Structure 1
Amino acid sequence: MQQNPDEASPLLAAYTKPQKGGVTKMKRDQKEESKSVQGLGWTADGLPLGKGGVVGEPPAVRSQWDSSFFACLGRNDQFCSSDLEVCLLGSVAPCVLYGSNVERLGSSPGAFANHCLTYTCLYLLGNSYFGWNCMAPWLSYPTRTAIRRRFNLEGSCEALSRSCGCIIEDDVLREQMESACDYTTHFFCHLCSLCQEGRELRRRLPHPGFNGRSILVMIPPTEQTMGRGA
C-alpha cells in the first residue's frame, strides 16, 4: 500500500486536521483579536496606545500655580496690576474680584454683572442668616475647577498625595477628589482662593476689554532746521 507523501512528512506529524466547528472558532478568535488590536492602536515606537495614552507611560506632569496660596503681597506683573491690588479687592469687594475672574476666564458677554450680582445676593444671605459668608463658595468654587482644567494645573489633592508618595491613577476618581478639594478650599479659605485665582488669571490672560484693540502711538515730528541761502 502506497503512503501519502503529505502524511509521511515529519513536519506534519503533530498536525491534526481541525473540524469544521474548530475552524469557525479559530476564525472568530482571529477576528476578535484583530478588532482589539485595531481599537488599541500602536505608536511609532511599537508601544500599545490606549484611550488615555500610551500604555505603561507615566502620567503627564501638571503645571504649578504661578503664586502660592498665601502669597497675597507678591510682585507687580506685566499687566500693570499688582498683587496688592488683587488682595485689597478680594478683602473689600470679593464680588467684584469674582466677577472679574469669571469675565477674564472667557465667559459669555455680561458675565461680570451677572456673576457679581449673584455673588452679592449670596453674600448678603449668608451674612444675614448665618453670620458669615458661607453661601457664596457654592457659586465660586467651579471657577477654580475651570482654571485647573484649562491650564492643566496641579490640584490640592494631587499635591498632597504626591508629597505622601502616592499616585492616583484613576482620572475619574482624581477629578472627583479635586472638585471636593476645590469646594473645601473656597469654603474655609474663600478670600485667599479668590485672590490666588485672580493672580493666576491676570498673569495668564489679558483682560477681554483689551483684546483686539490697537494702541495709537503719537510720535512727535523731528526738529527741522532752515538751510542757509546761497
Structure 2
Amino acid sequence: MYTPSDNSQPSFGQPTPKSTPPPFDQPPPLPPASFNQSALPPPWAGAQPLGVVYGSQWSSGLCDCTTDVSNCCITCWCPCITFGQIAEIADKGTTSCAVHGVLYTILLTVTGCQFIYSCMYRSKIRQQYMLPEDPCNDCLLHFCCEPCAMCQEYRELKHRGFDMSLGWHGNMEKQHQAVVTPPYAPAGMKR
C-alpha cells in the first residue's frame, strides 16, 4: 500500500508543491486504492471501453449463406421459421419457436419493422458468446441484410452444438441423455 513519506501539509499562505509529470518512458502512476469505480461512465454511454477483448469470433462470415443451402432457402422464403428457431435457443426455451415465429410474422405483415425484433436476438447471442458487433450495429445489419444476418446466427448456434430442429428443450434432453447414461455391467461378473 502506498504511504507518503512526508505527511506534513502546507500551512495557510504557503505555496503547494507542484507535481511533475512522469517521463515519457515510464507508465503513468496507478490511481490510489480509494479509486471510485462508479465514477466511470456506464458501458452503454458510448463506445466500448478500451481493452475489451471478445471471447471468440463468428464461426462464419455474414455472406457465407451458401454453406447451409437448406437454411438459406428457408430463411429467404419463410424467415419466421429461422427466426423462431434462433429466438427459442437465445431465450433458453422460455418461449417456443412457434410464438416467436408468429410475432415475427405479425410484425412483418403489419408494420414492416420486424428487423427491430430480430436484431434484439442477435444482440443476445453476441452477449451470450461474447461475439463482436461485426461488421456494423446489430439493428443496422438486420435492417439492411436481415436474411444474411439470420443465416449467420443460425450457423453460429449450429456450430456451437445446437440441433436447431430440436429446439432448446430437445437439445437439453439430448445433452442429459448423453451424460446420465451409466455403463451396463452384466450381473454375473464380479471383480
Shift in Å at residue 84 of structure 1?
1.4
Q: 1:203 to 1:36 in 2, by over 3 A?
A: same
How do 1:57-72 residues align onto structure 2 when only pairs under 5 Å count?
58-72=51-65
* 1:84 equivalent in alignment to 2:40: no
* 1:155 equivalent in alignment to 2:133: yes
Q: Which amino acid aligns with 1:148?
A: R
* 1:119 equivalent in alignment to 2:104: yes
> What is the number of residues matched between the two proteins?
139
* 1:192 equivalent in alignment to 2:170: no
TM-score (normalised: structure 2):
0.60
Q: Is the 8 A contact 1:104 1:205 kept in 2?
A: no
Runs of 4+ in structure 1 over 4 Å off: 17-21, 38-41
Q: Is the 8 A contact 1:72 1:84 kept in 2?
A: yes
Q: Which amino acid aligns with 1:210?
A: N
Percentage of matched positions with identical amino acids:
25
Q: 1:120 to 1:58 in 2, by over 3 A?
A: closer
Q: Is the 8 A contact 2:87 2:97 kept in 1?
A: yes
How do 1:81-230 residues align onto structure 2 when only pairs under 5 Å count?
83-126=68-111, 134-156=112-134, 181-207=137-163, 208=168, 209-213=170-174, 214=177
TM-score (normalised: structure 1):
0.51
1:219 — aligned with what?
A: none
Q: 1:185 to 1:18 in 2, by over 3 A?
A: closer
Q: Is the 8 A contact 1:140 1:186 kept in 2?
A: yes
Larger Rg over CA atoms: 1
Write 1 or 2 for the structure with the bigger share of helix: 1
Give the aligned CA root-mean-square deviation in angstroms. Answer: 3.4
* 1:37 equivalent in alignment to 2:33: yes
Q: Which amino acid aligns with 1:84?
A: V
Name the SS for the 2:66 alignment partner. Answer: coil
Structure 2 stretches of 5 or more lacking a match?
1-5, 13-30, 43-49, 182-191
Shift in Å at residue 98 of structure 1?
0.3
